[in-house]
Amino acid sequence: MDKLKIHNIINDNVWKKIPCCCLDKTNPEKCFPLMKCIHCQCETQEKSCPKNNFYVYERKITNGKLSTTRTKREIKEIWIDRSTDGLESVRGWYF
């Protein structure tokens, strides 16, 4: 698969400068206190973004009616929606 083009990517995010407060860094689900570590929470959100091209299946609407046939479309680029809380963490992504 080809590498996905990602818009609004930041290499030196603010959240990366916040130290991790977890006792067991190998398992984010055991983060102490439970998912209160800002660093691990932001890291998990960053890892949720796809890195490679992917496919979606779409149905078209014609004259107000939804088609029964689906078409396959390759997604080659996404846009990252970042938080506005000063951490620059990933809030979501769209294509």
pTM value is: 0.70
Cis peptide before 50 (omega within 30 of 0): no
Residue 12: pLDDT band (50, 70, 90) is: confident
| Helical spans, DSSP H, in 1-95 | 38-47
pLDDT at position 20 is 82
pLDDT tens sequence across 66-84 = 888 899 999 999 999 998 8
pLDDT at position 25 is 62
Q: Is 28 helix (H, G, I), strand (E, B) or coil?
A: helix
Q: Is the model's pLDDT at 86 over the cut of 90?
A: no
pLDDT tens sequence across 18-38 = 888 776 666 656 655 556 788
**Beta-carbon contacts of residue 4 (< 8 Å; ≥ 6 apart):** 50, 51, 52, 53, 54, 75, 76, 77, 78
The residues spanned by each domain of the chain are 5-94
Q: Using CA atoms, how far apart are residues 12 and 47, in angstroms rounded to an integer? A: 15
pLDDT at position 33 is 54
